[in-house]
Structure 1
């Protein structure tokens, strides 16, 4: 499809869509395969999402996940040419067309970042490194390098792969950062929340590698399960894990701490609710006392 026609299709689609909100992260909001815009609570503006997991497959299954029909597995082959065309066309409409005005609330009409997140673990794509190269090339065309961030939202489980490490190095060169998922610091908690069998030592090793390659934030989801927030032993293990990171001088940027904003589409959804604000705020204070920055999104 020619670029002009591609941009025109986005314009026609955007006029029919309701305004984006922080509680709607639909991957098809722009009618594209790989590219979708969201209003991000944590980013404080528009985040252009990149969804490499178009088959709704992930190597984890988090009980708060909003992905419909989630399955265990890896990303399918990525059409790099289509990814590049979609990103170029959408950024052109976002920055120079009417999409921002037509679809984004006034207070959020700023482009904050491009984020690899989507419907599964993005680093599971065989073309992960090449996808970063494509994104970097398009960012160069729009002179976005150094003005916005490229964010990788990841569970960090595949960082042992050379291609993933190479891709992360490229993200660092693009003013990028990693949001590294850590919802529990115990084996029992990770199995319950993420359905992951990773040991705490493996998580720590992967986090250490991530932070050595690219600026890295820990990202933690909090919620109440069966009406109760995380029990005392889970909270204590989490804070001890962060304290160990500090003791070992792992160069973390801080912690992104957030509560539930959207409804889970997993079987456990009826058991989930927001954690009390006071509980979240108290946890944020405890984290700050360890010397780490905290960004709290209740």
Structure 2
């Protein structure tokens, strides 16, 4: 299978078709500091959430479609061969980030809505073994499916592969509609699912902060967010830390004109607050 990267990779280009493949794509991750191999189980651009900062074009509501496991395995094998054995790193990756950091379930929607999620993890495990990859396997998730036993079993497989979860919590969960994620949830749901994740696999909170109509999250919103995480720690939920980031690339949703980046000093101040409650924090502007 031929691999043809559309252009040299950079942190601002996360196109899922950059290697001409359906399910597998390479990116340079600013948070990971290296090459991340993405697994896109949502090539239909469907997600059960609709985050206002999402960079997926033509996003629609819905679950992941059926995955052609044979094609996914072939694509992953071809890309890994090009990276590990071929000249991919030299020709497509900036010199300072020429390392494979992880294989990440990310893509254009919520990966755990795939009914074949567990089977796809088995495909990844086989590829890791073939190329003797000592790298992380990462699940980037909104956590919405973690009440399902099949997803919990899949999580155990990820943990066995030196894996970790990046669990999306952008604001303190409250009962009712959430503007940022365009979804209705309860605080209890989020806390329960976060506990399932953190107790089953090392789990980082993934938080995107930004201004809406030029207004940053209020002191009350920040207090509630920090307090929620502190409550989880106090109740024994083993949160690994927080991946705190801002708007690096423009949203492709209708709310895009209303969104703007938070100042660096504001983000740093929030990082310090989170560290003060005992959380490790990785900040990406």
Q: TM-score, normalized by length of structure 1?
A: 0.94
Structure 1: gaps spanning 5 or more residues: 1-5
Residue of structure 2 equivalent to 1:226: 213
Structure 1 ranges of 4+ moved more than 2 A: 186-190
Residues 46, 109 of structure 1: 8 Å contact kept: yes
User: Residue in 1 aligned with 2:155?
Assistant: 168
Matched, 1:58 2:73: no
Distance 1:94 1:172, change over 3 A: same
Higher percent of residues as helix: 1
Q: Does 1:252 align with 2:239?
A: yes
Determine the structure 2 residue equivalent to 1:111. 100
2: CA distance, partners of 1:161 / 1:188: 21
Q: Distance in 2 between matches of 1:230 and 1:22?
A: 26
Cα offset, 1:187, TM superposition: 3.1
Give the Cα–Cα distance (whole angstroms) in 2 for the partners of residues 73 and 96 of structure 1.
38
- Residue among 261, 278, 281 paired with 2:248: 261
SS at match of 1:255: strand
Could you tell me which residue of structure 1 aligns to residue 111 of structure 2?
Answer: 122
Residues in 2 aligned to 1:228 and 1:138: alpha-carbon distance in whole angstroms: 46
Which of 3, 11, 17 in structure 2 is aligned with 1:22?
11
User: Which residue pairs with 2:126 in the alignment?
Assistant: 137
Would the aligned equivalents of 1:186 and 1:234 in 2 still touch at CA under 8 Å? no
Q: Distance in 1 between matches of 2:284 and 2:177?
A: 22
- Superposed displacement of residue 95, structure 1: 1.2
Q: Hey, what does 1:195 align to over in structure 2?
A: 182
Shift of 1:180: 0.2
User: In structure 1, what is the equivalent of residue 75 of structure 2?
Assistant: 86
CA gap 1:179/1:52 in 2 versus in 1, 3 angstroms: same
Q: Are 1:214 and 2:201 matched, yes or no?
A: yes
| Superposed CA offset, 1:27-86 (max 9, x none) | 000100000001001100000000000100000000000000000000000111111111
Go from structure 1 to structure 2 and tell me whether the alpha carbon gap of 1:283 and 1:190 turns closer, same or farther (over 3 Å shift): farther
User: By how many angstroms is 1:224 displaced?
Assistant: 1.1
Q: CA deviation at 1:188?
A: 7.5
Give the SS at the match of 1:88. helix
Q: Do residues 270 (structure 1) and 257 (structure 2) align?
A: yes
Unaligned runs of 5+ in 2: none
Match of 1:241 among 202, 219, 228: 228
Q: Distance in 1 between matches of 2:175 and 2:90?
A: 46
Cα RMSD, aligned residues only: 1.1
Quote the residue 1:295 is aligned against.
282
Structure 1 residue 18: deviation in Å? 2.1
